């Protein structure tokens, strides 16, 4: 099963380094999607996830713990599954 990684951004230069770093650390079977909040569907998804700061990252449909208030922390993202294949179904 593919691991789903969603990166929520404002489509700005400040978010771009996080996008690139997440892409680099994602496993080959990870499906990485960038959600630009300037797009209505992305804004709707961000609300569903409970995003309150940018950039934020959700792994397998759950907002990473670091993204609730502190900002992106790659140790927390790795603990949530970044860089690891998803569980077999």
Q: How many domains does the chain have?
A: 1
Cα R_g (the chain), whole angstroms: 12
Residue 68 lies in a domain: yes
What pLDDT shows up at residue 42? 95
Each residue of 20-61: pLDDT tens digit? 999 999 989 899 999 999 999 999 999 999 998 899 999 999
Pair type for strands 30-36 and 3-9: parallel
Higher pLDDT, 64 or 35: 35
∠ at Cα 57 (47, 6), nearest 5°?
80
CATH of the domain at 40: 3.40.30.10
For 24, the domain range is 3-79
Residue 67 lies in a domain: yes
- This prediction has a pTM of 0.83
Residue 89 lies in a domain: no
Structure tokens at 49: 């996830």
Residue 63 reports pLDDT greater than 60: yes
Separation between Cα atoms, residue 12 and residue 31, nearest integer Å: 22
Lookup result for tokens 């959600």: 35
């Amino acid at each position: 099963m593919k691991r789903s990684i969603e990166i929520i951004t404002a489509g700005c230069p400040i978010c771009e380094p996080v996008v690139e770093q997440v892409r680099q650390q994602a496993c080959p079977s990870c499906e990485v999607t960038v959600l630009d909040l300037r797009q209505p569907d992305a804004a709707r998804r961000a609300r569903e996830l409970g995003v309150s700061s940018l950039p934020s990252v959700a792994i397998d449909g759950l907002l990473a713990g670091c993204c609730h208030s502190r900002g992106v922390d790659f140790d927390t993202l790795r603990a949530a599954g970044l860089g690891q294949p998803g569980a077999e179904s």
